[in-house]
Amino acid sequence: MTLLDRPLEPRFSSSQLLRYLAKWLPLALLVGLLAGSASAFFLVALDWATSTRLAHRWLLWLLPLAGFAVGWLYLRFGRAVEAGNNLLIDQIHDPDKVIPLRMAPLVLGGTVLSHLCGASVGREGTAVQMGGTLADQLTHVFRLRHEDRRTLLMAGISAGFASVFGTPLAGAVFALEVLAIGRLRSNALFACLVAAIAGDRTCLLWGVHHTHYAVGAIPPLAPWPLLAAGLAGIAFGLAGRLFADCTHALGGWIKRKVAYAPLRPLLGGIAIALAAAALPIDPYLGLGIPTIQAAFLQQLAPWDFAGKLVLTVASLGSGFKGGEVTPLFYIGATLGNALAPLLHLPLGLLAGLGFVAVFAGAANTPLASTLMAIELFGGEIGVYAAIACVLSYLFSGHTGIYRAQRLGRGKFGRGQRAPEHLRLGELDAWRRQARRQEADRG
């Protein structure tokens, strides 16, 4: 068949383009308005919870009761939404039914209560779940088809992510990139970009502002700084993989050992409260923003990243609600701080690279993470961030914090044998089955 014999691509007329824009521009703006407002309220509530906990340290002893309360609420009212971000990813891949609206207040209340009593959790998961849930409620209102619903959910994820961190470009690409390794759903780019910008602007209009990080001077591009950024990226990827694997392993283990769900965060809360009474681990509780900021400015203890990793794994693995991303920022910034003297690079640069690159490896989102670095730290860091994020992504392997993420094309092209639609959470079982089949044939 010659080129002339091939069927022509469907012509996209100007009227179709106008209808597309007329449909998705107002929808995406509405999604951004809803998600940005929800994030603004959430960030204000989170600031209150953090300041209250710091003023009343005895609240830490209520962490086991807070864990039990969150676990009971999800057991009683939230079984259908307990999967959180993974539910959003599954619904985008395989649209089934609209996400219940109760996901938003449940994750909001659970996260604020967790922070009020000192759990080491983040905030991205909460904002993304609220954004996706609120966006999905428009499915019935506008009677959207499955494909349109996919786009709407992705716009909600973009708006939630962008508004909670103040990074609209990263938020737009994150929703496209997080669904499957090596694949981007570019057909939703316009809606995600509009929703991300609108969500970020809406949050700012409510008077909520984001944390500033002083990365300092960036050295000019030269062989050693570029090589050092790559070496650091490898370390960041291994750290992201360790975090994801440990969180899933603890979560799976405690589910097997403790059948009654509310007891899991209760036991985790007891362990964390006792550890806080016996050890100086207060900097590893909550979001840890002051420590992240300090990592850009002064040398910290080289074990700070490990302390935060252990406390966050214990919190999330036992069932507390929140997110993984801000703890990953903490782990990355403090690990970069520890590596800076060894690699002879400025503290601010390595802290900034770790901030985004550990997240890139753990979430398998190198493009969004690179854009986040540029938005937060300036364009000069772009090349260094890209190197660190890509190598982190490669060295974290086929694992990640989102078990519903699809394998897609994989990280190494056609070398993979597993089907593209496979969820990361199913990959180990698929490998075991493949090994058994090979043994049977042998």
Q: What is the pLDDT of residues 127-182, one digit of tens each?
A: 999 999 999 999 989 988 988 999 999 999 999 999 999 999 999 999 999 999 98
Structure letter (DSSP) for residue 92: H
- Among 50-54, 353-357, 390-394, 422-426, whose mean pLDDT is lowest? 422-426
Q: How far apart, in whole angstroms, are the C-alpha atoms of residue 292 and residue 315?
A: 19
pLDDT at 412: 79
Q: How far apart, in whole angstroms, are the C-alpha atoms of residue 309 and residue 368?
A: 22
Q: Which of 360, 273, 287 is nearest to 322 (CA)?
A: 287
Confidence of residue 414 (pLDDT cuts 50, 70, 90): low
Structure letter (DSSP) for residue 324: S
Tell me the two tokens of residue 235: 């370390």
- Dihedral, CA of residue 213, residue 313, residue 92 and residue 95, to nearest 10: -150
H or E segment and range at residue 75: helix 63-77
Instruction: Give residues with Cβ within 8 angstroms of 153, minimum separation 6.
Output: 88, 91, 92, 132, 135, 136
Asked if 365 and 174 count as a contact pair (C-beta separation under 8 A), the reply is yes
DSSP 348-394: HHHHHHHHHHHHHHHHT-HHHHHHHHHHHH-GGGHHHHHHHHHHHHH
Q: How far apart, in whole angstroms, are the C-alpha atoms of residue 20 and residue 9?
A: 18
Tell me the two tokens of residue 407: 């394998």
Tell me the two tokens of residue 413: 């092209």
Tell me the two tokens of residue 147: 């494909």
Mean pLDDT value of segment 375-394? 97
Tell me the two tokens of residue 34: 């809803």
pLDDT at 1: 46
When the pLDDT of each residue in the chain is averaged and rounded to a whole number, the result is 93
The partner residues of 406 in beta bridges, in order of sequence, read 180, 423
Asked if 411 and 182 count as a contact pair (C-beta separation under 8 A), the reply is yes
Q: What is the pLDDT of residues 1-13, one digit of tens each?
A: 444 455 555 566 7
Q: How much of the chain exceeds pLDDT 70, in percent? A: 96
Confidence of residue 319 (pLDDT cuts 50, 70, 90): very high
Q: Determine the length of the chain.
A: 442
Model pTM score:
0.93
Q: How far apart, in whole angstroms, are the C-alpha atoms of residue 395 and residue 87?
A: 26
Q: What is the pLDDT of residues 280-294, one digit of tens each?
A: 999 999 999 999 999
Q: How many CB atoms lie within 10 A of CB 243?
A: 29
Mean pLDDT value of segment 23-49? 97
Q: How much of the chain exceeds pLDDT 90, in percent? A: 83
